[in-house]
Amino acid sequence: MISLDLNFNILTRDLSHYLENQVKVGLFGSGVGLSLVLGFSAAYTCYYLISVAKKPQLISGGKTFCQFLKEQCPVVSETYYPTFWCWESRIQTLLRPFVTAKPGVVYRNELIKAADGGQISVDWFDNDDSLSYPDPTTRPTVLLLPGLTGTSRESYILHMVQQSRDLGYRCVVFNNRGVSGETLLTPRTYCAANTEDLETVIDHIQKTYEAAPMMAAGVSMGGMMLANYLGRKGRKTCLKGVIVFSAGWDVFECTASLEKPLDRFLFNSYLTSCLQASVHRHRPVLEKCYDIDHVMKAKTIREFDERFTSIMFGYPTNDDYYRDASPVHKLKSVQVPMLCLNAADDVFSPSHAIPVEAVKQNPHLALLITCHGGHIGFLEGLWPRQSTYMDRVFKQFAKAVIEQGGRLKDLSR
């Protein structure tokens, strides 16, 4: 492998000299095409190794947690090599659902009654064939939270279920109300700021398997909800650890980023239409309380939240909702080990809004920032079908928390 300490100026000079000589020869022979291809490939490889492939930045508020991660999760110290032909942020984000495989998973669905009369759909992967934990009463449980409009069938969720299955763990996927095919019984859906349904599900799992250790992983909005939950609960939770992927830490900055012309075209409009489709499916119960025609005319996520989400959850203004939904304001109250993975080029969660300073002030937090990876992308390898960098981080952290979590009981040191 070419050393990253290579003098780039010398490399550029030699490469230019090589191309110049080869093109001259090729013009009088037949090798100009091959020479150009080889020259471009060499230049691209050098650029990739020097400017694209980099070690992630690990930031933690305490030495104990940081050292634990370095010892138990070697992936946090390894160079991340994004797929060389699609390392750009938007390409990673757009391609991930199409190029990654969807492992076969058979779930057991359960509908949990909520306090307001509604129902919450959760999908269980019991892993009864677990050799490491044959006793279901003590089999570790991993709670998974999908993104904004995601369900248990998202490829990134299926991959985490697969990783958990390999470790012998049980998985439970928390589906937000109204997105996974269940009937909406009350005129209420979900938002990143409200964690009542999540608390109901965690309590239900804990009561079902009281002797089983439990951790959680959240993706995008699911990660935001988890972080907000931990910020509100402090130490009063049964979760042993949490990992969060591609969370939006400041909702104001996230929405502003997604309203830039290109990102509005690629992502914002599509997500808005997905939210509206969910509302349309449950129109009979929702139109009794909300102006659905007005909601269906929204062009952006911000307009959707102004006309629907903020009203549903009783906020005076949409700004009040966005302020409450932003996990950055609650990080100081988190008292459970939480690892957060973000890509610096994620347009959903811009780098200037990643809460580096807040993380440094809390010994229970750690932040892993890659230069590339996009939003829930983190593709790696020549053809990233089976596993991503995100999958590897998840598997190592889950194993560390479940099997070595005793070392994380006192992180205040």
CB 374 within 8 A of CB 341: no
Q: Which of 278, 375, 387, 391 is catalytic?
A: 375
Q: What are phi and psi of 123, to 5 degrees?
A: -115, 120
HEC profile for 222-268? Answer: HHHHHHHHHHHHCCCCCEEEEEEECCCCCHHHHHHHHCCHHHHHHHH
Contact 200, 114 (CB under 8 A): yes
3-state DSSP assignment of residue 318? helix
The DSSP annotation for 349-371 comes to S-GGGS-HHHHHT-TTEEEEEES
Q: How far apart (Å, rounded) are the C-alpha atoms in residues 202 and 195?
A: 11
Q: Are strands 108-113 and 119-125 parallel, antiparallel or unpaired?
A: antiparallel
Q: Are strands 365-370 and 57-60 parallel, antiparallel or unpaired?
A: antiparallel
3-state secondary structure of 62: coil
Helix/strand/coil for 124: strand
Burial letters 320-351, b for 16+ CB under 10 A, else e: ebbbbbbbbbbbeebbbbbbbbbbbbbbbbbe
Local structure of 59: helix, strand or coil: strand
Is position 41 annotated as part of the catalytic site?
no
Cβ–Cβ under 8 Å, residues 311 and 295: no
Give the residue from 328, 326, 339, 334 showing the smallest Cα distance to 362: 334
Catalytic residue (one of 35, 152, 220, 246): 220
Is 375 a catalytic site residue?
yes
Residue with tokens 């070697």: 74
| 3-state SS class at 15 | helix
Distance CA 251, CA 231 (A): 16
Answer yes or no: 60 catalytic. Answer: no
* Marked catalytic residue, from 346, 349, 372, 387: 346
| Among 386, 7, 356, residue whose Cα is nearest residue 166 | 386
> Catalytic residue numbers?
220, 346, 375
